[in-house]
Amino acid sequence: MTACIYAIATCDTKGRELAFVAEAIRRAGGQVKTVDVGTQADPTVAADLPREVVAACHTLGSEHVLRQHDRGTAVTAMSEALVALLSRHHAQGAVAGVIGLGGTGGTALIAPAMRALPIGLPKLLVSTVASGNTSPYIGSCDITLMPSVVDVSGINRVSQQVLANAAHAIVGMVAHRRQIANEKPAVAMTMFGVTTPCVTAVRQRLEADGNDVLVFHATGTGGQALEKLVESGLVNSVIDVTTTEVADEIVGGIFPAGPARFDAILATGVPYVLSLGAVDMVNFGALQTVPAEFRNRTLQVHNAQITLMRTTAEENRQIARWIAHKLNRSTAPLILLIPEGGVSALDAPGQPFWDPQADAALFAELEATIQVTAARQLRRLPMHINDPAFANALVTAYQELCTRPLQSQLSD
């Protein structure tokens, strides 16, 4: 099957614009297949994959998508159908890249299908909302957003230039997509500024041993991007040093882990070593943005845009239970290392977040709630997270999992 660029829009409102983009792709030497995801009026142009074909991919059938009277419900159903269609066609080797056109509704409809595709597959979305807060559309995926400048409504002196640029861009992405050599094992790691010494030491050891190390900033989207790469098969193992996103998830900070954190790692069963880096802190914006109920807590201005708050013993117990609930579902081997001497650069004697009682509550709750087995291990070490000896322990645990015989890996 010849792979094509899938060009997607609602052909009842964006049919002419979709046809313009498809023709520009052909003129640039690309092969294109148009997809209609309209749900309201009749299409103004015929698509290679009509809306009925897309809608039929929904688990509840095409009528569930096309017979909806409420526009919002119809758009949501069509989006779900598009996810299924693109995922299926990609698995069949038919999708070389994807380009979408949309306003607010079209962007919300098309973006989930793009997010469902693997990292590295070219994805470009021309949108009226391609500025401001775009995280609801992009998530942790590698979607390229291009502002339409004017509305995607007609072909005029502005839109024809923007749409032509978009068409040429997706053709270039597809034609010159780089094939990555995967000879080196890929190891994903998480880092914060306050765990940098640890992560740097581990990274240097792993790179010296011939690994390709990918470091993610633990800012919510960083952890989600890591899991997306694991899910896509682009990462072979994970050393999750910095699980601070869980603290923001529990307490309400600006870098939350999200409810699915750890899920892809555990589901794929890749070798998994983790620790408790920076779970002593919750992240907020500038000092004046810290919620009123937290103003009297221990705060540390990290920079003009970020204020850190020390977690309490009770918050640490909640964090521990959240982590344990996830890890107790694991079926593949994992090792959790607890640094008893402190979990961040600020959590050390003489530093503003040093609170041995709060740390003790975290460690004790983990020991009480994690169901330790031969495959699911918890180890307490009398070291600070940034001690060189702790970095060595992380590497040793990683090597242990990577060399464990398959029979013991499958036992639980």
Domains (range + CATH), the chain: 4-175 (3.40.50.12020), 186-410 (3.40.50.12030)
Quick: pLDDT tens for 367-399.
Answer: 999 999 999 999 999 999 999 999 999 999 999
Cα 267 to Cα 189, 260, 378: the distances in Å are 18, 11, 19
pLDDT tens-digit profile of 244-258?
A: 999 999 999 999 999
* CB-side neighbour CA atoms (13 Å) of 293: 3
- Separation between Cα atoms, residue 216 and residue 227, nearest integer Å: 10
Closest CA to 213 of 193, 194, 236: 236
**Exposed, middle or buried by CB within 10 Å (0-12, 13-18, 19+), for 172?**
middle
Average pLDDT per run of 10 along the chain, which is 412 residues long?
Answer: 91 94 96 95 94 95 88 92 96 96 92 92 94 81 91 89 96 88 85 95 95 93 90 90 97 94 95 97 94 94 92 98 97 96 97 97 98 96 98 97 60 42
Residue written as token pair 């009226």: 128
3-state secondary structure 343-397: CCCCCCCCCCCCCHHHHHHHHHHHHHHCCCCCCEEEEEECCCCCCHHHHHHHHHH
Give CB contacts under 8 A, 24+ apart, made by 66-75.
66/39, 68/39, 71/39, 71/40, 71/105, 74/39, 74/40, 75/39, 75/105, 75/108, 75/109
